[in-house]
Amino acid sequence: MSAGKALWQSARNLLDAQVNLDKLYDAFDRVELNEDDLIIENDDYTYEGGDWVRPVWNACFKVSKRRNDGKKKGQGYITLAIQLTCDPGHDDGWDYGRQAKVLAGYCPSPKLDDWWEFDTANPDGAGECEDCTPRGSLWVYGDDDGGWFYAVQLDALDSVEAVDECLVNPLRALIKKDGTPEEVLGPIKDKLCIPPQSA
């Protein structure tokens, strides 16, 4: 293939991927919830569609609980991030290191400064994330303050139903503590990017 044809095909692939990534990003809104005991609402969208040059996009959702007086009390933040690529790590042995993925994280702090903000280095190509320890299907924040995230293979999110199955329902269940992480994530284990486990 000539350089011109290769460049054309690469650009065409980017444009086609952009359309699908916009649809996925819009589907992230499905995580929103307004129930008596839990409220999840979009907090800060910075992406307006049509420009997927950046390798990682983060969407942040505020999690609150409704108090008896009807007012909301901040509980934490959900981050949904599309990581199209990542930096190489110290080890090339992680099966999912060279794969696009969606990262789904929860930070139980009501301060916006504490939310997960993913980039190409966290997690890296070896599955390492600063100050995090793999625990089963999750990465857990080092001081065990309740912060965690998991990763889903981007290819698995090919429909609205898949977004519900892999992101919306597990996030809600994990935040509400409706089962252990193993129970909640077990049914979608084949769609996850399982973190590398230490020996």
Length of the chain: 199
Share of the chain above pLDDT 70, in %: 86
Q: Which residue has the higher pLDDT, 77 or 142?
A: 77
Whether the full predicted model's pTM is greater than 0.85, yes or no, is no
Nearest to 84 by CA among 102, 98, 100, 104: 100
Query: How far apart (Å, rounded) are the C-alpha atoms in residues 25 and 181?
Result: 24
Nearest to 149 by CA among 136, 162, 163: 136
Element (H, E) at 63: strand 56-66
Express each pLDDT in 67-121 by its tens digit.
777 778 878 999 999 898 888 887 777 889 888 899 999 999 888 777 889 998 9
Half-sphere exposure in the Cβ direction for 84 (13 Å, CA): 14
Non-local CB neighbours of 20 within 8 Å, separated by 6+ positions? none
Query: How far apart (Å, rounded) are the C-alpha atoms in residues 185 and 180?
Result: 8
pLDDT at 149: 97
pLDDT at 106: 95
Express each pLDDT in 6-19 by its tens digit.
756 776 677 677 77
Mean pLDDT of 55-65: 88
Residue 5 has pLDDT above 70, yes or no: no
Query: How far apart (Å, rounded) are the C-alpha atoms in residues 30 and 54?
Result: 23
Which pLDDT band holds residue 144 (cuts at 50, 70, 90)?
low
Residue 179 has pLDDT above 80, yes or no: yes
pLDDT at 199: 46
Mean pLDDT of 167-192: 95
pLDDT at 69: 79
Query: How far apart (Å, rounded) are the C-alpha atoms in residues 10 and 131?
Result: 36
pLDDT at 43: 72
pLDDT at 28: 85
Query: How far apart (Å, rounded) are the C-alpha atoms in residues 8 and 43?
Result: 38
What integer best gives the mean pLDDT of the chain? 85
Query: How far apart (Å, rounded) are the C-alpha atoms in residues 50 and 6?
Result: 22
Extract the tokens encoding 5.
Answer: 């044809």
Residue 38 has pLDDT above 60, yes or no: yes
Query: How far apart (Å, rounded) are the C-alpha atoms in residues 109 and 14?
Result: 36
